[in-house]
Structure 1
Amino acid sequence: MKQKATDLASVELEPAAISPASRNSVVRTVFAILLRAIGLILTIVLAVTVGVWSSRYMVARGSPLSTDMYGPWQQWRDIGRESADPYTKAHVVTTGKLRISADSAGTFEARTDSQGARLHSSCNYVVEGANMRGLWWSLAVFDARGNLISNDADRYEFTADTIAPNPNGSFVVTLGRDARPGNWLPTSGAGRLVLVLTVLDPATGLSADERAERNKHLPVIVREGCS
């Protein structure tokens, strides 16, 4: 019996041999799991990145959900209202600008000319506006950061009170680096430009139809040439 016990104790148990096919199957399974995990991580990162970028863009530039377009002119439709959407409210906060309520005025911004080309100080422009029929308005030019453009003429905007209109009540404003006669707004070397048109509602207010009619006749922005 002692001899048998000794013989059994001395027997070395060898692990069962794993076939190459089984080993390859395990490797493939592990590799597939790793690929799925990496794919999931990349999907999450991409989704977060796109979400953050799109949110920032919608806050800075707006979207059809929060703005209306009239040719080159963009209007945040509910700005200053209690019912404003989160993107509109965030836009007001992040820009730090005091905005007149959409119930009291129409505020329109243009970053392109009427052909869709980006406004730039290296180009000259003509802004042609129709008769506003008694409505008070202002037209100002800013750089891309929303700052007034420093210039020797100390001229930053025209209003219904300061413009030299045409006999029929329409008006023409020119934009460019070099001085010219008439209603000229200097753009210096500001680079990209933003035009802001503000039209105040009359004391009696405007109906939705009257606002829609007003918005059909916003100024046309024509590029003359660039240097």
Structure 2
Amino acid sequence: MFRTVLTILYVLALALGLGGASAWYVTERFAGFDPLTIGQWTGSPQAGAGRADPYARARAARTSDVPLGTAEGLVLTATRDTDGAILNGACAYRIAGRAPAARLWTLRMARPGAGTIEGRPDLPSHLSSRSVLREPDGSFRIMLAPDVQPGNWLHPGHDGPIRLILTLYDTTVAANVGLADVTLPVIEEVECQA
């Protein structure tokens, strides 16, 4: 009798533990069934569509994000630099290139699995296509570093892992992948003191 009760408790604890771990994994790490990957950037074009998979809906509910519909835009995230190293707020990075055609784009930072990093109000924590300084050829260079940098500069807000979030509003990127050459900014490590 006692052995049966222990077995039932063990099975219940195991089921709850594995169920909780799988739910965390799916809402935290799983890219979804329809990930769009361009260079270092990954997005889910169907996340805001009516046919979004249940995992995308669960992720949106967990993070309190309102996913953009396919016609509204696309949210892309990057967690690694060109060498494959995890982005860290203690390091300096150069984000360079061009953004795809969009009515507006924004670039902000967040902790992995959390919302936007709220840094000090006197330090820049986000940029948009309307505020970024551009090169004569239309490209841009943004420095993400804990120390002040000339030109376009973002302060990481904390030491530790970060993810970059590039939101493209009113864009056709998701529809054009495979039909047109879509390029996104490249994230290169400049120096790291972590």
Counterpart Cα distance in 1 of 2:104 and 2:189: 26
Matched, 1:184 2:140: no
Matched, 1:147 2:116: yes
Q: Which residue of 1 aligns with 2:184?
A: 218
- 3-state SS of paired residue (1:136): strand
Counterpart Cα distance in 2 of 1:125 and 1:107: 21
Counterpart Cα distance in 2 of 1:123 and 1:197: 19
User: What TM-score, normalized to structure 2?
Assistant: 0.81
Unaligned runs of 5+ in 1: 1-33
2:46 to 74, 78, 81: 78
1:161 to 123, 127, 130: 130
8 Å CA contact retained: 1:122, 1:177 = yes
Counterpart Cα distance in 2 of 1:120 and 1:207: 28
8 Å CA contact retained: 1:176, 1:185 = yes
Q: Structure with the greater relative contact order (CA < 8 A, sep ≥ 6): 1 or 2?
A: 2
Counterpart Cα distance in 1 of 2:145 and 2:30: 28
**RMSD over equivalenced CA pairs, Å:** 2.8
- 3-state SS of paired residue (1:181): coil
Matched, 1:197 2:166: yes
| Structure with the higher fraction of residues in strand conformation | 2
- 3-state SS of paired residue (1:168): coil
1:113 to 52, 74, 81: 81
Matched residue type, 2:140? F
Q: Which residue of 1 aligns with 2:22?
A: 54
**Per the alignment, do residues 172 and 100 of structure 1 end up closer, same or farther by CA in structure 2, a change over 3 Å counting?**
same
Matched residue type, 1:224? V
Counterpart Cα distance in 2 of 1:214 and 1:197: 20
User: What TM-score, normalized to structure 1?
Assistant: 0.70
Deviation sequence 1:130-160 (CA, Å, 0-9, x none):
2534642111122332232312534221111
- 3-state SS of paired residue (1:115): coil
**Per the alignment, do residues 148 and 80 of structure 1 end up closer, same or farther by CA in structure 2, a change over 3 Å counting?**
same
Matched residue type, 2:25? Y
Q: 1:102: how far off?
A: 2.9
Counterpart Cα distance in 1 of 2:94 and 2:169: 23
- 3-state SS of paired residue (1:221): strand
Q: 1:48: how far off?
A: 6.4
- Count of residues paired in the alignment: 188
Unaligned runs of 5+ in 2: none
Q: Which residue of 2 aligns with 1:14?
A: none
Counterpart Cα distance in 1 of 2:122 and 2:179: 35
- 3-state SS of paired residue (2:158): coil
